[in-house]
Chain A
Amino acid sequence: MTVALQQDGSGQRKAKRSNLSTARLRAAWLFLAPMMIALAVVAGWPLIRTIWLGFTDANLTDLSHSQFIGFENYLSYYDGEAYGVLVDPDWWNAVWNTLWFSVISVGLETLIGLFVALLLNAQFKGRGIVRAAVLIPWAIPTIVSAKMWSWMLHDQFGVINEILLGVGLISDPIAWTADPSTAMWAVIMVDVWKTTPFMALLTLAALQMLPGDIYEAAKVDGIHPVRVFFKVTLPLIRPAILVAVVFRSLDALRVFDLIYVLTSNSSTTMSMSVYARQQLVDFQEVGYGSAAATLLFVVIALLTTLTVMAGGLKLNEGEQS
């Protein structure tokens, strides 16, 4: 008590930490230390190194002879011509592709996930098995499911073409992943197939947290189920859905494996990650590729902040109305 009062009074004397809380604090750091060291080694160091390499002219053939060149990888002028990632039309094409892919796939996954979650939340026989079965697409490693789909979508041997031809919906086989008009949609379709279970699971968890009594109250009040859904269920699970959307968007913005396996370096589907890989590995431009990777990091950080802020504002509105 006296310590606290002194602190309030002068603002200079600090409350003395008791031995007990010092010991607790020390123990906490001790427990945290291994994790923090591991993170620093596997995440912190590569991140810092990537950012550093982005400011150099490093090349994959010989990384030891790289020189610091400032922002030249991002933007530079030679003979009145602009060079660098920031003016590379391929980069902006990749940014656009990534955004398009993220918005459409996350949007579809959220909607379908909500629908599936509502189904799984209902009472029916064998619900446990269905709940587990729904998770299978998400449990399969992306590389495996991407390869599987690339075979199913194959223009000559793919089962999809086979079925569509058999039913008579198409007259000629379609090269789903190679044709520019269908490639992006093929990628989005596979991503939706794979990731909807994740969204459904998070939404289902939110649905199960809802108090059951308010639904009985609504029933007694004779409120139509559709109205109950939009006026009660949706506002109450919105925070959870928003968290799921942020998670998924983070994932979608750095999409690589799915697109690389299905369409490799095709420019119609190239994402930011695929672009960075192409620069780093195919063109051996480590400096330039690192600059692209750093930009990718910045774009994701910006978009996430924006999403969280926009979502947060909406949440507040919802609470006040």
Chain B
Amino acid sequence: MRSQTRRRICATIAAATASALLAGCAGAGGAGADSDAVNVLMVNNPQMMDLQKLTAKYFTKKTGIKVNFTVLPENDVRDKLSQDFANQAGQYDVATLSNYETPIYARNGWLRNLDAYAERDKAFDRADLLPSVRESLSGADGKMYAEPFYGESSFLMYRKDVFAAKGLTMPDHPTWHQVAGLAAKVDGAQKGMRGICLRGLPGWGELIAPLTSVVNTFGGTWFDDKWRAKLTDPGFSNATKTYVDLVRKHGTAGAAQSGYAECLNNMTQGKSAMWYDATAGAGSLEAKGSPVKGKVGYVAAPVEKTKSAGWLYSWAWGLQKASKKPDKAWKFISWASSKEYEQLVGKEYGWANVPAGKRASTYRNPAYKKEAGAFSEVARKAIVEADPRDPGVQKRPAPGIQFVGIPEFPDLGTKVSQEISAAIAGRRSTDEALRRSQELAAVVAKDYEGRDTQ
């Protein structure tokens, strides 16, 4: 009995020593298990999950290039992305970048310019890409540093059946005042149905996106062209008050913690009559099995002082400068952003799931038009009309519609969003939230006097 225990302990210690030695050896060897594969970091949105499923079967089979994916939620991807690219650690050859990161990363020399690759790759047909999307993925030098996977804008979705039952009509280009009036009238139209769902969840990619697009059309801006913070100016504060009041009066339960996903769920389950959000939402509302399929109407983003107010967002493929296999990486990018891939998704998963919003040809495709006809034209127009450089009524110091294209924005935007979200939750007044936000923005602005950003 005793000796048995002893022997077991001896064995354990021997095993531990061996493993530690092994650890040292394996560590020296490094992690590059198969150095031929392309490493891709991407957001776990449904379109990317489809891509992950199709890659081995179609891309690897055809080209022999293996692809390793790291798939994470958006925030985690951003943390990892910035860390890997800023240090040029080269863990990832390709990553999903948005049109927010692309110009910033390009300026710091962290990305490869893709113009030469695209030129050589005739089948890629870059001229087919929508001009506003191309512009938003270009650096200050006018060259493109990322190829779009899909693009989106924002628009207003509403329940046609509810509006009809109440005898209300939705204008094609509504103003925010009209929307507020309509929200009051449809609030409670059905059991458990509220007037409108707007994001209130803290986060620069959540609440701040729709709010900033409202600010733009109310004539406000985060910073003027001299880098002065303008968060307590009438444009910004009127927009914020309208937004907060609307959500507090006619928004859904838990508005301060509702983001895109929660609003989508509310809309799908008939808990809100309107929803102002990304055009990508329409694909889910019209998907097979959705209880509101065919009942939703789509109109342009509500405006006040500008002619259009939709935002512009694109997830795109960036190629890290430190990558050791740029040619293979380009092959992957070219395939993932191609017309051919859109066809493939259409065939395998249905045309509503195609990563659209980047190519003009998509909107001429009869199969796509048939499946996405309810919203495709409004969505295309919103993307084409978006102006990523000066989206408001004044000149802007940095690019971006629903964000300000500077490295400090995620931090600033998130802090400000926490203030506004607190106002939505009724924990402080909108004025107080804006006063605090202005202080935060002024600190950032001070760093920018004299820095060149455009």
The yes or no verdict on A and B being binding partners is: no
